[in-house]
């Protein structure tokens, strides 16, 4: 979906800057923070900010002597753009999600929340990983957040902790498993049967 929007809006930088403002309405950010969070160069961000200011998409103001920017929700096409970008973001087909498989011995990777436009989910991902590589995990999350324009929340545990929490019928875990979610990796024997059994009770 991101590739389609890149084609429509002309560049990755334009897409990421617009999406960042549309999905983080209350944020007032400096240009360097926007560049860092979206994995873009500062000159590219400044170029897009100037273009978007001219059409009234974003507002600029001084805060403690520094220029900060945020979305102007009075922008004429705001509702349509908000809907378009929310739909594009709420997709479990992000290329970066496939990289989750490289962060260690991944036994389970499920997505919900921002990926499925399901606001009730307490986290966006549940990961069960043995021997996790923290550096790779951080890189994957940074790329994902830049790609979708929002911070990604996740619960990370190893196989032993996951089994313990499942056996204890941990409410947080059950709420996630019983709610809308999409599977990226599932190497937990019997998990689908367990979830199906839980859902039949309701």
Q: Going by DSSP bridges, is the β-strand pair 154-157/125-130 parallel, antiparallel, or unpaired?
A: parallel
Q: Is 98 helix (H, G, I), strand (E, B) or coil?
A: helix
Domain that holds residue 58: 2-89
Does 104 share its domain with 33?
A: no
**DSSP assignments along 21-56, one per residue:** HHH-TT--B-HHHHHHHTT--HHHHHHHHHHHHHTT
Q: Is residue 106 domain-shared with residue 54, that is, in the same domain? A: no
Same domain, 103 and 180: yes
Distance between CA atoms of residues 118 and 95, nearest Å: 20
| Residue 57 CB burial class (10 angstroms; 0-12, 13-18, ≥19) | buried
What is the Cα–Cα distance from 33 to 167, expressed in whole angstroms? 43
Within this chain, do residues 83 and 106 fall inside the same structural domain, yes or no?
no
| pLDDT, mean over the chain | 87
Q: What pLDDT digit, counting tens, does each position of 27-78 carry?
A: 899 999 999 989 899 999 999 999 999 999 999 999 888 999 999 999 988 8
The pLDDT confidence band at residue 12, using thresholds 50, 70 and 90, is: confident
Q: How confident is the model at residue 146 (pLDDT cuts 50, 70, 90)?
A: confident
pTM: 0.70
In the chain, the number of structural domains is 2
Q: Are residues 176 and 127 in the same domain?
A: yes
> Could you tell me if 151 and 120 lie in one domain?
yes
pLDDT in tens, 78-95: 888 887 776 666 555 566
Could you say which of 54, 74, 89 is where a domain stops? 89
> Residue 29 and residue 23: Cα distance in Å, rounded?
13
- Asked if 115 and 57 sit in the same domain, the reply is no
Domain boundary among 89, 111, 135: 89
Assign residue 14 the CATH number of its domain.
1.10.10.10
CA gap 175, 183 in Å, rounded: 15
Structure tokens at 147: 């790609």
């Amino acid at each position: 979906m991101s590739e389609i929007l890149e084609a429509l809006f002309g560049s990755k930088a334009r897409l990421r800057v617009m999406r960042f403002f549309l999905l983080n309405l209350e944020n007032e950010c400096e240009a360097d923070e926007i560049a860092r969070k979206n994995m873009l160069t500062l000159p590219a961000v400044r170029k897009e900010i100037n273009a978007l200011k001219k059409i009234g998409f974003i507002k600029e103001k001084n805060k403690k002597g520094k220029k900060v920017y945020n979305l102007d929700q009075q922008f004429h096409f705001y509702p349509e753009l908000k809907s378009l970008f929310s739909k594009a973001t709420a997709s479990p087909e992000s290329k970066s999600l496939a990289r989750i498989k490289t962060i260690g011995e991944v036994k389970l990777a499920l997505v919900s929340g921002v990926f499925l436009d399901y606001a009730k989910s307490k986290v966006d991902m549940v990961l069960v990983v043995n021997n996790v590589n923290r550096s790779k995990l951080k890189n994957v999350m940074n790329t994902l957040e830049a790609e979708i324009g929002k911070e990604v929340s996740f619960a990370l545990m190893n196989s032993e902790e996951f089994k313990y929490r499942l056996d204890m019928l941990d409410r947080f875990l059950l709420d996630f498993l019983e709610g809308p979610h999409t599977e990226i990796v599932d190497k937990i024997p019997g998990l689908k049967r367990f979830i199906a059994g839980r859902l039949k009770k309701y």
